């Protein structure tokens, strides 16, 4: 965007018209400022420059919310020549926020600043919770002054706004203009002067005094697009603010404010497609942080899956509901955030886990944990409805929250203050809900509720609770209860599956389950045996369960999060944290045990068949395996133990064996395990040691169904147990395979396919 004729007193100007590259020109000084961005120098993916996108007229710079910023040198000789700088200052900037910060420690997300609030120096223009924004200055004499946007004048997400902030020390005032109109002012003493923040950088997109999370992540960083930024050493008039806004409108089609398209402001998945550790056929956000995938539901020929998401960066912070859609539970499309914290009394501080079901008309509804830190307890159960069919939104992008919580925890209703993750299902003309909690002085519990209209709920007491004396690893609190019908056993008795995730002191944070019966009259669960079982015997890589009955096929489907097992430093460098596990079909076997299999639809990802062998010795099989390498593979393997007491397969093996991961079964101990002691030589990675758990084969051969997807390793053994783990080899040639045993085992069969990316 060119300088206007009325740009007298212009000190600094960034047009952001470059459209590419890792620098931005400040045109007054002629200085080209470096753009800080995590992938300028990338450790795990191909280096790339920051994301540029459509601006208000030309291009704009996309700020990712945690790593993108600009520091501009402020030279003293220039400052001293800028007459009037300390008595007047104006800022004009076009911004399109993608998301809002949580407001941690009361600090502003900086658009542009050069300030020290503690010393009451400099200036700060930035945003706060829910789109509120403010201009703040430090005055000579030790005063800190602020002017804030009023209610109704917040900066909307995914839309362009033109912001002017004016400090007029001579006349004595601070003013805010939004889209050319004055919206707020604050009086100052006439003759006020700005206290210069000496020794402080001018930063764009980053707060001079940001909070530090986990010792790594700077909070209060701008997320979205900045289209143009001008800073003046004089006070702009109301007419000039309006004229600057109208100039852009005059060049826009139809004379209206330019629109921001979703594809222009969404997180960019492309840089992570080359990440040598990021899974490519497991579901994941485009970038940044996720935890539990949840609320799966099938509607109008599509599967919807939501997930806990921090849109600001790859760290646990300000939780929203991300959203994917798929026709087959394998190939997913990214959709906009479905639910976000808003300026209301329902969930201003977080949208936490929940589930999905159907209303009386068969339309999908979402139940979620509403986070409100001003309430006690700060967690309640809330509901959101799709705008379909009124607007024909087939992808269910738009959701409207019911204005009040549906279920609020009362004293005596479980462990007060821990009340979250509703799992709701419809049965005939009634709805039932489980809520994760615990019992005061006892163990974890799932609390039961019933409703005739989906809005008014009655507490029925504990659905099931832990005997914490017998099973202390079940912990004091349960999260993410899931309840699924398994059908009838051989005796004709209806059986059900209850899944929970324990948390709190002494808890083993894994997915535990029971098979049992439902007492519908009392709305309680009667397990066949009190001791819980594990679906997965890895260590904290298969957690956060959710589930549904698939109306299309009748299968019970379970989704999980595959924890990343990395340090915050590495998650910063990588730009992502965690992904979903593969969708599983769970069912009641003939022998009464729980059957576990990846969904058959995953076969659609198979590429070239790399190997198919039968009845080979280990030496013969390994000779044939020499030419088979990869980090995106599906492997089906059946081994006859012979004289071996331990047997399995090494994956992600370097040619010299210095890096490798061993998946093995111990017949004497009846244990399925993974040995990661040689998985990586990277000094920062955490994966190491041996993890595993019980697997009774009862005389069967060992049958392993293995999915390798870069850092993901999932093993399904005999349809009974899974073992999910993470591997981050430091060597790019750690791609080999080797069958292993401590005796003369036989490879009865082995098939290997290349697997394709879903993105």
The H helix count followed by the E strand count for the chain is: 5, 53
DSSP one-letter code for 564 = -
Contact (CB, 8 A) for 148 and 118: no
Query: pLDDT at position 254, please?
Result: 83
Longest dimension (CA), the chain: 93
**β partners of residue 576:** 288
DSSP 117-150: TTTTEEEEEEE-GGG-EEEEEEETTTEEEEEEPP
Structure tokens at 181: 């109109």
3-state secondary structure of 618: helix
Topology (CATH) of 10-265: Jelly Rolls (2.60.120)
677: left (phi over 0), alpha (psi -120 to 50) or beta: alpha
Structure tokens at 178: 């939004």
* 606-755 is classed CATH 2.60.120.560: yes
Rounded to 10 degrees, the C-alpha dihedral 150/153/155/160 comes to -150
Instruction: Return the number of other C-beta atoms located less than 10 Å from residue 67's C-beta.
Output: 23
Rounded to 10 degrees, the C-alpha dihedral 467/473/477/483 comes to -80
**Mean pLDDT value across residues 516-540:** 97
Query: pLDDT at position 5, please?
Result: 46
Do 10-265 and 606-755 come out as alike in CATH topology?
Answer: yes
pLDDT at residue 49 above 70?
yes
3-state secondary structure of 515: strand
Query: Measuring CA to CA, which residue among 432, 447, 314 is closest to residue 379?
Result: 447
3-state secondary structure of 699: coil
Query: pLDDT at position 79, please?
Result: 46
Could you tell me the pLDDT band of residue 4, with boundaries at 50, 70 and 90? low
Structure tokens at 179: 């889209």
What CA–CA distance (Å, rounded) separates 503 from 376?
21
What CA–CA distance (Å, rounded) separates 552 from 90?
60
Average model confidence (pLDDT) for the chain? 96
pLDDT digits (tens, 9 = 90+) for 286-318: 999 999 999 999 999 999 999 999 999 999 999
Could you tell me the pLDDT band of residue 85, with boundaries at 50, 70 and 90? low
Phi, psi (rounded to 5 degrees) for 758? -95, 0
Tell whether the torsion through CA atoms of 736, 572, 570 and 46 is positive or negative: positive
How far apart, in Å, are the Cα atoms of 199 and each of 75, 76, 122, 204, 208? 10, 10, 11, 16, 11
Could you tell me the pLDDT band of residue 81, with boundaries at 50, 70 and 90? very low
**Mean pLDDT value across residues 327-338:** 98
Per domain, the residue ranges of the chain are: 10-265, 606-755
3-state secondary structure of 177: strand
What CA–CA distance (Å, rounded) separates 279 from 714?
12
What CA–CA distance (Å, rounded) separates 517 from 8?
79
What CA–CA distance (Å, rounded) separates 709 from 717?
18
Query: pLDDT at position 586, please?
Result: 98
Query: pLDDT at position 255, please?
Result: 85
pLDDT at residue 1 above 70?
no
Structure tokens at 471: 């099973």
Query: Measuring CA to CA, which residue among 542, 567, 550 is closest to residue 707?
Result: 542
Query: pLDDT at position 618, please?
Result: 97
Query: pLDDT at position 634, please?
Result: 99
What CA–CA distance (Å, rounded) separates 323 from 340?
11
H or E element that contains 257: none
Rounded to 10 degrees, the C-alpha dihedral 569/571/574/578 comes to 170
Instruction: Return the number of other C-beta atoms located less than 10 Å from residue 376's C-beta.
Output: 10
Query: pLDDT at position 82, please?
Result: 45
């Amino acid at each position: 965007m060119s300088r206007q004729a009325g740009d007298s007193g212009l000190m600094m100007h960034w047009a952001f018209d470059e459209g590419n590259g890792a620098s931005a020109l400040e045109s007054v000084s002629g200085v080209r400022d470096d753009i800080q961005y995590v992938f300028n120098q990338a450790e795990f993916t191909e280096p790339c420059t920051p994301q540029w996108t459509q601006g208000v007229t030309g291009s704009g710079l996309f700020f990712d919310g945690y790593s993108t910023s600009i520091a501009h040198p402020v030279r003293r000789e220039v400052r001293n020549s800028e007459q009037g700088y300390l008595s007047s200052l104006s800022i004009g900037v076009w911004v399109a926020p993608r998301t809002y910060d949580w407001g941690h420690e009361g600090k502003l997300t900086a658009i542009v600043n050069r300030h020290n609030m503690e010393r009451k120096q400099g200036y700060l223009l930035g945003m706060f919770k829910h789109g509120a924004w403010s201009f703040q200055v430090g005055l000579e004499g030790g005063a800190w002054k602020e002017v804030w946007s009023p209610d109704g004048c917040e900066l909307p997400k995914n839309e362009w706004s033109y912001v002017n902030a004016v400090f007029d020390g001579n006349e004595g005032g601070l003013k805010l203009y939004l889209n050319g109109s004055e919206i707020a002012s604050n009086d100052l003493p006439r003759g006020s002067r700005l206290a210069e923040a000496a020794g402080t950088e001018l930063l764009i997109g980053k707060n001079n005094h940001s909070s530090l999370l986990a010792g790594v992540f700077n909070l209060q960083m701008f997320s979205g697009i900045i289209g143009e930024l001008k800073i003046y050493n004089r006070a702009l008039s109301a007419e000039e603010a309006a004229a600057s806004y109208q100039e852009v409108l005059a060049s826009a089609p139809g004379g209206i404010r330019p629109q921001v398209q979703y594809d222009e402001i969404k997180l960019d998945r492309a840089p992570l497609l080359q990440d040598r550790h990021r899974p490519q056929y497991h579901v994941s956000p485009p970038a940044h942080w996720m935890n539990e995938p949840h609320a799966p539901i099938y509607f109008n020929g599509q599967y919807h899956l939501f997930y806990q998401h921090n849109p600001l960066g790859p760290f646990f912070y300000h939780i929203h509901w991300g959203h994917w859609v798929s026709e087959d539970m394998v190939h997913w499309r990214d959709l906009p955030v479905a639910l976000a914290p808003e300026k209301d009394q329902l969930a201003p501080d977080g949208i936490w886990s929940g589930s999905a079901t159907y209303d009386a008309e068969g339309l999908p509804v979402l139940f979620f944990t509403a986070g409100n830190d001003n309430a006690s307890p700060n967690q309640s159960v809330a509901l959101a409805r799709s705008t379909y069919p009124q607007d024909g939104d087939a992808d269910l992008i738009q959701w409207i929250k019911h204005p009040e919580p549906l279920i609020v925890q009362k004293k005596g209703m479980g462990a007060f203050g821990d009340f979250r993750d509703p799992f709701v299902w419809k049965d005939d003309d009634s709805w039932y809900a489980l809520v994760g909690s615990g019992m005061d002085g006892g163990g974890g519990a799932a609390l039961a509720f019933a409703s005739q209209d989906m809005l008014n709920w009655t507490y029925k007491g504990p659905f099931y609770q832990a005997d914490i004396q017998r099973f202390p690893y079940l912990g004091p609190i349960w999260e993410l209860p899931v309840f699924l019908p398994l059908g009838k056993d051989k005796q004709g008795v209806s059986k059900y599956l209850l899944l929970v995730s324990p948390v709190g002191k002494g808890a083993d944070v894994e997915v535990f389950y029971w098979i049992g019966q439902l007492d519908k009259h009392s709305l309680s669960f009667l397990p066949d045996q009190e001791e819980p079982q594990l679906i997965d015997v890895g260590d904290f890589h298969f957690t956060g369960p959710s589930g549904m009955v698939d109306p299309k096929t009748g299968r019970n489907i379970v989704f999980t999060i595959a924890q990343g097992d990395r340090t915050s430093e590495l998650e910063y460098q990588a730009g992502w944290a965690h992904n979903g596990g593969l969708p599983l079909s769970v069912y009641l076997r003939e022998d009464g045990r729980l059957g576990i299999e990846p969904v058959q639809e995953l076969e659609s990802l198979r590429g070239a068949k790399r190997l198919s062998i039968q009845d080979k010795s280990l030496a013969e099989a390994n000779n044939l395996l020499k030419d088979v390498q990869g980090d995106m593979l599906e492997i089906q393997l059946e081994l006859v133990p012979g004289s071996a007491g331990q047997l399995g397969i090494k994956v992600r093996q370097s040619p010299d064996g210095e890096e490798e991961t061993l998946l093995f079964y111990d017949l004497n101990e009846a244990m399925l395990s993974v040995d990661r002691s040689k998985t990586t030589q990277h000094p920062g990675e955490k994966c190491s040691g041996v993890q595993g758990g019980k697997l009774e084969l009862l005389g069967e051969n060992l049958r392993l169904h293995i999915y390798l997807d870069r850092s993901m390793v999932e093993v399904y053994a005999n349809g009974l147990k899974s073992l999910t783990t993470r591997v981050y080899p430091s060597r790019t040639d750690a791609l080999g395979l080797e069958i292993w045993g401590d005796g003369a085992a036989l490879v009865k069969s082995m098939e290997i396919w290349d697997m394709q990316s879903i993105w």
